[in-house]
Structure 1
Amino acid sequence: MVMATFKNVGIHRGLAVVLLLALASCWDEAAGTNNIPPSGFVRTRNTQFVVNGSPFLFNGFNSYWMMNVASQPSERHKVTDVFRQAAAAGLTVCRTWAFSDGGNQALQLSPGVYSEPVFQGLDFVISEAKKYGIRLILALSNNYHDYGGRAQYVNWARAAGVPVENEDDFYTNAVVKAYYKNHVKKVLTRINTFTRVAYKDEPTIMAWELMNEPRCQADYSGKTVNGWIQEMAPYVKSIDNNHLLTVGMEGFYGDSIPDRKQYNPGYQVGTDFISNHMIKEIDFATIHAYADVWVSGQSDDAQMTFVQRWMTSHWTDSRTILRKPLVFAEFGKSKKDPGYSTTVRDSFLNSVYTSIYNFAKNGGTLGGGLVWQIMAEGMDSYFDGYEIVLSQDPSTTNVIAQQSNKMTALEHTLTVPL
């Protein structure tokens, strides 16, 4: 049924990508892998990412579930499958979680107490990424309740008798902040049981992210979150100065430049894209965009117009005010949206990818994009509507692979400013 949506040339390209994925699988089984492990840490120079002094552009993806799945050795083949297929489609950066606080299959069982089997799952993820030449952006905590998040940190403090009121105390309470710092130190100094390399010394890791989509209902100005970043960013760098660091923001504007709030989808979430990224230890900026949620009820064209405006404003600010690289770290098209079809999703991704390419071409400030999200076969219980299974979605895989090729070709034309 999917193949029926192809136009003539699309059929051949789509089949070619599927064939490439099959060949990659055969090569992997027969000879290990034909991918080169990442060498050299990703750095920044002005508004560009660089590796070993050369420009670094990328096409990438999100697979938040990897550590959780890999904590069960019998399920690790799903992580391997995704990395193998992603590498075959030219994807070179993966964003995933380095946290799971309390609850089922937790990494951090309680403050300072960790599950070795789950940690070994994360070890496996890093070692497999290395094997397939894919760099990782690892998020250290979550704004939401999923996998614990800052609510779990506050609950731990409350259970210990600390006078905390709500989840926003995560950003200000000394005990809670100490819990978070302990987690940072534990993860960054972890010795990988597969590679025997400390995480902080592993070039396969591209960057750390302080939190997935931080928000603060107690203070919409962005100042409370800013104070937290000002404390945590230097702490991370004091342990690990090899890796890049970002906040993990969606891109909402706050009070520092009031006129920028016109670009928000009608509301604020307690962050400030400008001031939060101006902190010197933060190496690059990120944005996310879910127009189907943020400006729901509008037409596909209107939602795409919002996304284009969102990208343009943040690219401009990253280039002229922050003077740091920008990553479009989450975007996707949900199967749950009214009028969804594979053709609609492919068109949406094409539009986003074209913008990313054009912005990257115009100076390199936008280093790449990370689609949400790629999963393996047999992961239906994880599906959220945005899932892409590369082996089962040939037309979408073709769109992704074409973007990978374009970004790689563009990378070779850029020069690094002195």
Structure 2
Amino acid sequence: MNMRLLRLISLWVMPIVFWAIGTTVQAADTTPPTGSVLINNGAVVTNTASVTLTLSATDNAGTVSKMRFSNTGTDFSTAKIYVYATTKSWTLTIGDGAKTVYAQFKDRTGNWSLSFTDTIVLDTTAPPPGFVTVSGINFMRNGNQYFFGGTNNYYIIYKSTDMVDDLLTTASSNNLKVIRTWGFIDIGNQDGSNSIDGAGKKDSIYFHYWDGTAPAFNDGPDGIQKLDYVIWKAGQLGIQLIIPFVNNWREFGGMDQYVRWKGGNYHDEFYSDATIKQWYKDYIAHLVNRVNPLTGLAYKDDPTILAWELANEPRCYGSGAPGDYITSSNCNTTLLTQWVSEMSAHVKSIDIHHLIAVGDEGFYCALGSSNWIENCSQGVDTVAFSSLSTVDFMGFHLYPDFWGETPAWGTDWITRHIIDGHNIGKPVLLGEFGIQDKSQRDSIYTTWTKTLYDNNGNGDLFWMLAASGYPDYDGFTLYCPSSTCTLLNDHAQQMAVKH
């Protein structure tokens, strides 16, 4: 063969061979994007059909380019297609009830994803008269800003009707129109054995017990019917109630009683154990949906209840008494905030009218702080709790005697919480406060209540009012008439006319 011709052929063929060797056939992309959609940042309820969708989508082979939406999930073939974005204004279908939005995403190859969904309850019906709502940093009632001074009392849920009447009448006559009281008496077995809190029952009364296989509810006259009467009588006197669902402390059973039912080892299993969490949800549903035979109303439909609290003073730590449960190394602010988010959403899903709060003491989470009240050590981050969309207002407590602080520190504690809560955009309630030194009490309470009033705090509830003759077990009990009762009566009247 002509060597010159062979060389020319080689020069022409070799690049083609090398190109073929170095080139692979790209397989067609058939994998659709993955993504998510949230309505109003995961809110449970909305009072308007106009919502904002928060969107997230990724694709394994490139960029997500398009998106489309549906209120039914069946009309995507005719749905308008939008350029992909991380937010989208959307309108729900008319009519109150649960509404689901369906979102699909498309990659540059043309693959449409399956539907991703989120659901929200549309409730455009104004709450019945008497319900307290929130508007920005304000409580509202019957169209007006609502400020109040009130009190706490735990024993009315198990004492005689005469004692209930006495306490509530005393509160009403002293303009204490909001009372915080317990919604729980958790015991061991039905006979009171295996109870965390001594004999368990309170004057033979109990609400929630272990029936041998699972927690059960006592709806009888020695059970939740006692709470029925408190709600009915309070309504008759124009008093509203704030009711926590469980106690962090051993008194009345509380969280440790749930852990004992389960056979657990740690106090904080109440926040993490799936079975315990479901038992707690079941109790909430039972209470909220209960129809009060004295009023004819389900608890969830009764404006006498101002708000529910998820717990009284939730922390990683329980009472620490012999036989109580210790805290595991897994408890932290992340766990408690997740629990608050889950449980507040649960309450909102079954009670669309009432306000929801946490019931915490208002501890902060500032890493590096040397103060146990502020260094995250209790698992409480009141700012994170109150920032959740399913929590309606910030609550906090104030006990310098117990916390190793001064009354002056307490004045600053009040101011800080009002500022922080209002900066979040929520009302702020001082849910408990107390000083044991009776010689200084009037002066201190005057300063604290004035501080709250001057800084536009939305409400306060002192610990605690008791009827004459009831023992002062903890050193904080207040009786009327007294000079302290008079100054708190005056404060409550001042709050009631504040606008």
Identify the residue that residue 190 of structure 1 maps to in structure 2: 290
Query: What is the CA-CA distance between 1:263 and the residue it aligns to?
Result: 9.2
C-alpha deviation, 1:266, in angstroms: 7.2
2:246 aligned with 1:141, yes or no?
Answer: yes
Q: TM-score scaled to structure 2, two decimals?
A: 0.66
Give the deviation of 1:310 after TM superposition.
1.0
Q: What SS does the aligned partner of 2:209 have?
A: strand
Shift, 1:405, TM fit = 1.8
Query: Do 2:333 and 2:381's aligned partners in 1 also have CA atoms closer than 8 Å?
Result: yes
Unaligned residue ranges in structure 2 (runs of 5+)? 1-127, 188-199, 318-327
* 1:213-260 alpha-carbon deviations (Å, 9 max, x no partner): 0001445641110111111111101110110000001000125xx488
Corresponding position of 2:220: 116
Distance 1:95 1:367, change over 3 A: same
Distance 1:39 1:389, change over 3 A: farther
Structure 2 SS opposite 1:112: strand
CA deviations 1:136-165 (Å, max 9, x no partner) are 00010010111001000011011xxxxx32
Q: Which residue of 2 aligns with 1:349?
A: 445
The equivalent residue for 1:399 is: 487
Structure 1 residues 212 and 405: alpha-carbon distance in aligned structure 2, compared to 1, 3 A threshold = same
- How many residues align? The count is 341
C-alpha change, 1:266 and 1:222, in structure 2 (3 Å) is: closer
Cα distance in 2 between the residues matched to 1:379 and 1:61: 16
SS for the counterpart of 1:208 is: strand
Kindly state the Cα deviation for residue 294 of structure 1 after the two structures are TM-superposed. 0.3
> What are structure 1's unaligned runs of at least 5 residues?
1-37, 70-74, 159-163, 297-302, 335-339, 361-365
Match of 1:46 among 114, 119, 136: 136
Tell me the equivalent position of 2:345.
Answer: 234
Matched residues in 2 for 1:115 and 1:204: separation?
Answer: 20
Match of 1:280 in 2: 389
Inter-partner Cα distance in structure 2 for 1:346 and 1:266: 31
- Superposed counterparts of 1:49-60, under 5 Å: 49-60=139-150
Question: What do residues 349-374 of structure 1 show as CA deviations (whole Å, max 9, x unaligned)?
Answer: 111111111111xxxxx211000001
Q: Determine which structure has more spread, i.e. the larger CA radius of gyration.
A: 2
- Deviation readout 1:163-192 (Å, 9 max, x if unpaired): x32111010101100110010001001111
**Residue 179 of structure 1 corresponds to which residue in structure 2?**
279
Match of 2:162 in 1: 77
What SS is found at the alignment partner of 2:426?
Answer: coil
Greater RCO between the two (CA within 8 Å, min separation 6)?
Answer: 1
2:234 to 129, 132, 142: 129
Find the aligned partners of 1:58 and 1:277 in 2 and give their Cα distance: 20
State the one-letter code of the partner of 1:113. F
For residues 263 and 157 of structure 1, the distance between their equivalents in structure 2, rounded to whole angstroms, comes to 30
- Structure 1 equivalent of residue 122 of structure 2: none
Counterpart code for 1:400 = L
Equivalent-residue separation in structure 2 for 1:46 and 1:144 (angstroms): 32
1:226 maps to amino acid: T
TM-fit CA distance, 1:194: 1.1
The CA deviation string for residues 364-415 of structure 1, in whole angstroms up to 9 with x for no partner, is: xx211000001112322x6321111214xx21121111101211232xxx2x
Distance 2:494 2:209 in 1: 43
Question: Aligned residue for 2:184?
Answer: 99
Q: Say which SS state the counterpart of residue 455 (structure 2) adopts.
A: helix
Q: Deviations over 1:83-123 (max 9, x none)?
A: 11111111111000000100213210221232412211100
Q: Whole-Å Cα distance in 2 between the matches of residues 84 and 268 of structure 1? A: 41
Structure-2 residue corresponding to 1:25: none
Q: SS of 1:43's equivalent? A: strand
> Is the contact made by 2:400 and 2:435 (CA closer than 8 Å) also made in structure 1?
no
CA contact (8 A) 1:265 1:295 kept: no
Tell me whether 309-318 or 213-222 shows the greater mean CA deviation: 213-222
1:246 equivalent in alignment to 2:331: no
Q: What's the offset of the Cα at 1:267?
A: 7.2
Alignment of 1:202 with 2:287, yes or no, is no
Alignment partners' CA distance in 1, 2:271 and 2:360? 15
Please say if residues 369 and 375 of structure 2, whose CA atoms lie closer than 8 Å, have aligned partners that are also in contact.
Answer: no
Determine the structure 1 residue equivalent to 2:174: 89
- Give, as a single letter, the amino acid of the residue that structure 1 aligns with 2:386: H
Match of 2:268, SS state, is helix
Q: Report the Cα distance in structure 2 between the residues aligned to 1:61 and 1:94, rounded to whole angstroms.
A: 5
User: Secondary structure of 1:384's match?
Assistant: coil
**Distance in 2 between residues matched to 1:379 and 1:347, nearest whole Å:** 24
Structure-1-length-normalised TM-score = 0.78
In the other structure, the counterpart of 1:18 is none
> Cα–Cα, structure 1 residues 344 and 307, in superposed 2: closer, same or farther, change >3 Å?
same
Query: Residues of 2 paired with 1:152 and 1:64: CA distance?
Result: 18
